[in-house]
Amino acid sequence: MKRNITRVIFLCLLLPSALFSAEIVAVQESAGEAPYSLINKATIIKVNEDKVTIKVFETGGGDPAMNGNKLIVTICEWDRGGNCYTWRTGIDLYVVKDITTADRKIIIRGAAHVSNKETLTIETVPVSYIIEYYFDESNVLKNSIRVEKM
């Protein structure tokens, strides 16, 4: 399972930015990794219609000159016996400016650094992503999300 998650994230990072879209399976708690070890900032959103709490964690660890703010998302159902999953989204940007939710989607707006090969400079450009989460036919949170660059 750990190898499959690594493959998905690796493929997401290789895709050109215009083609960025992937479905990602949740991190297994038994994997023994600490996905929260480098948290810089957390945003917590309660979604009443779905009865879930969404936590978006901004993490460090990359090159601060070229992005390095990797996002981790946790979604937990309010029901004590409900599902709670954590995903490494594959999103790597410079700064998050806004996070909103609508129709089982998390919309992330921010900025990314890109290298301009003609001027040999690093430019800051706007970037947006949609993270979509799912429920099964019994209205139980599923363990996969879909991440797409807008």
Q: Where are the domains of the chain?
A: 2-149
- pLDDT at residue number 38: 59
40-49, 106-115, 140-149: which range is least confident on average? 40-49
d(CA 68, CA 59): 8
Give mean pLDDT, residues 91-114: 94
**What pLDDT does 133 receive?**
97
Alpha carbon dihedral 133, 139, 143, 144, in 10-degree steps, equals: -30
Predicted TM-score (pTM) of the model is: 0.74
Point out which residues pair with 107 in neighbouring strands.
100, 130
Whether the Cβ atoms of residue 132 and residue 105 lie closer than 8 Å to each other = yes
Q: 41-97: per-residue pLDDT in tens?
A: 788 989 999 999 999 998 875 666 688 888 999 999 999 889 999 999 999 999 899
Residue 103, both tokens:
């129709």
Residue 131: enclosing H or E segment and its boundaries?
A: strand 121-135
Q: Is 87 helix (H, G, I), strand (E, B) or coil?
A: strand
pLDDT of residue 137: 95
